[in-house]
Amino acid sequence: MPEIEAYKRKLASNPEGVRYYRTVSLSHSQMSKTYNLVMDSVELIADDENGVSIAYSPAAMLESGSMQTNDLDQTASYTISDAFNVLDGELDLIDIDTVEPIIVTFRGYHSEYLTKPVEVLTYNANSVAQAKGSFTIKTGVPDLNSDQTGEIYNLDDFPMMRSLF
């Protein structure tokens, strides 16, 4: 993590010509391909966390909460312009009965270090709201912390939880 702190310090000094790129990758097994989008007006070519070069297509996007890692919900929202309804058609390929979520991968890049993302966060799509020419994806981290037993955790049965309060 020292690399991330170094990037943040450099960006905080606001050097001339240095930019931070926010990218989103949308994937699902029933979609024809993975859609890689960058919040910019020109294409971006950068390497992912595995060293694979990815071409990100420019897209008009509004994101909210994608870099927030200080709570357990870790939710984010992406509103993406889809003037030609390309992504709308791709979403129609996904069966309505499927339980497999759309995977949304957020990557942040520093313009001088495109060989590795500064941040990588992977979310599951919780809901997709479509409108003519745009759609909004609400995401959250995979639900790995839930216990479906219905058991109530209280301090009498679990005294070690007192250290949490």
Query: Domain boundaries in the chain?
Result: 2-164
Taking the CA atoms of 160, 161, 162 and 165 in sequence, report the sign of the dihedral they define. positive
Query: Within 10 A of 24 (CB to CB), how many other CB atoms are there?
Result: 24
User: Token pair for residue 68?
Assistant: 């927030």
Distance of alpha carbon 131 from the chain centroid: 21
Q: Which residues of the chain have pLDDT under 50?
A: 145
Q: Tell me, what's the pLDDT at 57?
A: 93
Q: Tell me, what's the pLDDT at 68?
A: 62
CA atoms within 13 A on the CB side of 91: 19
Q: Tell me, what's the pLDDT at 36?
A: 94
